[in-house]
Structure 1
Amino acid sequence: MTHPQDALIHLMIVAASSDSSMTERELFRIQALIDRLPVFEGFEKSRLADVVNDCADMLNGPDGLDTVMDNALAALPKKLEDTAYALAVEVTAVDLRLEQEELRFLEMLRDKLSLDRLTTAAIEVAARARHRRLPG
């Protein structure tokens, strides 16, 4: 069984790589979220490379994306489902432009979670607001 912190990291990795590439900004955002969010308190940062490799191994296996998502969601307590979605949105929003593949991943994640549409919409709007830049 996957640890809930590992599950959240797996979902962030899949969100970041859903458009076939993980940008430096996405990687830095994942690291920053792990460093500062209370849900990651106690996470041994020395394990991060192993967690990332475990995720990559699952993604490269049979039914990779579904396997990662199903394992991650099975490891998460219900009360962390909104956190999981918020983290996925946060990672995809960092580039300020969501690719079609990223939108599809978020849609798949929404479908697997028991969150209502109002909650997911609020999470999405909040992420856009946080990443907005001044014009110019």
Structure 2
Amino acid sequence: MTDPVSPQKALIYTMVTISAADSTMTDSELLKIGEIVQTLPVFREFDADKLVQVAEECGALLEGDDGLDTVLEVIAGALPEKLYKTAYALAVEVAAADLVVEQEELRFLALLRDRLHLDKLTVAAIELSARVRNRVV
């Protein structure tokens, strides 16, 4: 990976990593990632045609030595502080996409929260918001 990681790429790395955390990237998670990249203003300047390439870059990092720690380091280093909460919120959205949040996904969320120094109240608000949006009757 020779290109510097942009904030948009870091956000995609976040979403790909949460999706891959339980070793199963579900269709609903992949669809959610695509929807997020297509619709959120933070991705307005991102070429959505490069989504698969960026996901593959993230996968390659994850497969390397200390892959998860490396990806977390890249995410934290590439994001401006004002996007830390956005990264966490996007990770929660992708984790909730299939209506089942596995232990491995919860562990990644905890690692991300700690790496980005997010306070418990902010994290609780983001998680509650996702639960409310994803309820079924």
TM-score, structure 1 length as denominator? 0.96
Q: Answer yes or no: is 1:56 the counterpart of 2:59.
A: yes
Q: Does 1:37 align with 2:51?
A: no
**SS in structure 2 opposite 1:132?**
coil
- Structure 2 unaligned regions, length at least 5: none
Is 95-104 or 19-28 further displaced after alignment?
95-104
Shift of 1:94: 1.2
Partners of 1:13 and 1:52 within 8 A in 2: yes
Task: Map residues 39-118 of structure 1 onto 2, 5 A cutoff.
Answer: 39-118=42-121
The CA distance in 1 between the partners of 2:103 and 2:52, in whole Å, is 28
The percentage of counterpart residues that share the same residue type is: 52
For the pair 1:6 / 2:4, whether they are aligned, the reply is: no
Structure 2 distance, partners of 1:103, 1:65, is 14
CA distance in 2, matches of 1:97, 1:59: 22
Bigger CA drift: 103-112 or 79-88? 103-112
Q: Which runs of 5 or more residues in structure 1 are unaligned?
A: none
Q: CA RMSD in A?
A: 0.7
Q: Secondary structure at the match of 1:73?
A: helix
- Count residues with an aligned counterpart: 134
Structure 1 runs (4+) deviating above 2 angstroms are none
Q: State the secondary structure of the residue aligned to 2:22.
A: coil
1:81-131 alpha-carbon deviations (Å, 9 max, x no partner): 000000000000112221111111111111111211100000000001111
Mapped contact 1:96–1:128 kept (Cα < 8 A): no
Separation (CA, whole Å) in 2 of partners of 1:123 and 1:7: 19
